[in-house]
Amino acid sequence: MTFTWYWIGVASMAAGSAYFGLAAARATERRWQVLWSLYFFICLIAFALYLVMATDYGAYLAEGGHNTVWIRYVTWFLSTPLLLLALTYLGRSTSTLTGGLLGANAFMIATGFVATVLTEDTPAALHLVWWTISTGAYLAIAWAFLGRYKREAKAALPASASVFDRLVLVHLVLWTAYPVVWLLSPEGLAVFGGPVEAMLYAILDIAAKVGFGFLAANTLRTIEQNGEAG
Ligand code: RET
């Protein structure tokens, strides 16, 4: 079952990168070139790394027989900054906010990686301490999106204010699911096993990359219709 989900990941990311890549190549306006290229690379990175997992690399077998898939953190470390850049581009965020988001995100993924790859002899509590540290960084990101990000976007694009409520809501619902899945997975409290974890991350990755790419495009289209593009 796990490998089926990895191959579903490979296929979805291949389709996503082909679609977004073609759209980027065909786009004539700079704003569309920027947006489509970001989602092209987001999907391309995930395509390569799903292929690694689908061909049975990128994990080590932890005690208790579950796989700790460290390569997910490589994907996330590379693709989450691009996802954030697409959002800050759409919302015309200041460089102060963009820098803060990227910094907190790097810290979040790096400390989440530590939580995951601590050795099997490490007390479970220590894994959870690192999860908590990483979640602290995530909460800072969520806070910034609900406050400053929306304020800046609505000030720059007043006629399109409502699209940012939807964009931030979908973004936060998707991203919040990751630490929850981690906590319930064999890395955390082991409420479910590795195969369910692999399925849930695959579904989330497809929604947060391919699905969200279409939502971002939709948002840019609305901004254009409101006469606020360019
Ligand atoms: C971890 C575990 C530690 C606590 C937290 C996490 C957050 C991960 C997030 C990942 C987002 C990934 C995306 C990928 C591609 O689309 C590292 C799971 C807070 C938010 C959006």
Report pLDDT for 107: 98
Locate the ligand 1 atom nearest the alpha carbon of residue 212 and give its number.
16
CA distances for 88 relative to 96, 107, 189, 202, angstroms: 11, 18, 34, 25
Instruction: List the structure tokens of 64.
Output: 């208790």
Report pLDDT for 186: 87
Q: Which residue has the tokens 């796989």?
A: 67
Report pLDDT for 98: 98
Report pLDDT for 191: 95
Q: Which of 47, 77, 138 to mutate to test the pocket of ligand 1 (most atoms within 8 A of CB)?
A: 138
123, amino acid identity: P
Residue 132 and residue 225: Cα distance in Å, rounded? 42
From the CB of 182, is ligand 1 less than 6 Å away? yes
pLDDT tens per residue, range 156-172 = 999 999 999 999 999 99
Instruction: List the structure tokens of 117.
Output: 């790859």
Percent of the chain, pLDDT > 90? 84
Residue 142 and residue 45: Cα distance in Å, rounded? 24
Report pLDDT for 96: 98
Percent of the chain, pLDDT > 70? 97
pLDDT tens per residue, range 104-156 = 999 999 999 999 988 777 788 899 999 999 999 999 999 999 999 999 999 99
With 0-12 / 13-18 / 19 or more C-beta atoms within 10 angstroms meaning exposed / middle / buried, residue 147 is exposed
Instruction: List the structure tokens of 176.
Output: 């919040």
pLDDT tens per residue, range 174-218 = 999 999 999 999 888 999 998 999 999 999 999 999 999 999 999
From the CB of 112, is ligand 1 less than 6 Å away? yes
Report pLDDT for 64: 64
Nearest residue (by CA) to ligand 1, atom 6, is 179
pLDDT tens per residue, range 89-100 = 999 999 999 999
Q: Indicate if the pLDDT at residue 39 is higher than 90.
A: yes
Write down the mean pLDDT value for the chain. Answer: 95
What is the residue-wise DSSP string for 160-203? GHHHHHHHHHHHHHHHHHHHHHHHHSTTTT-SS-HHHHHHHHHH
| CB-based contact 204:181 (threshold 8 Å) | yes
Task: Look at 63 and 138; give whichever has higher pLDDT.
Answer: 138
Nearest CA-CA partner of 220 in 179, 141, 167, 145: 167
Q: How many CB atoms lie within 10 A of CB 153?
A: 27
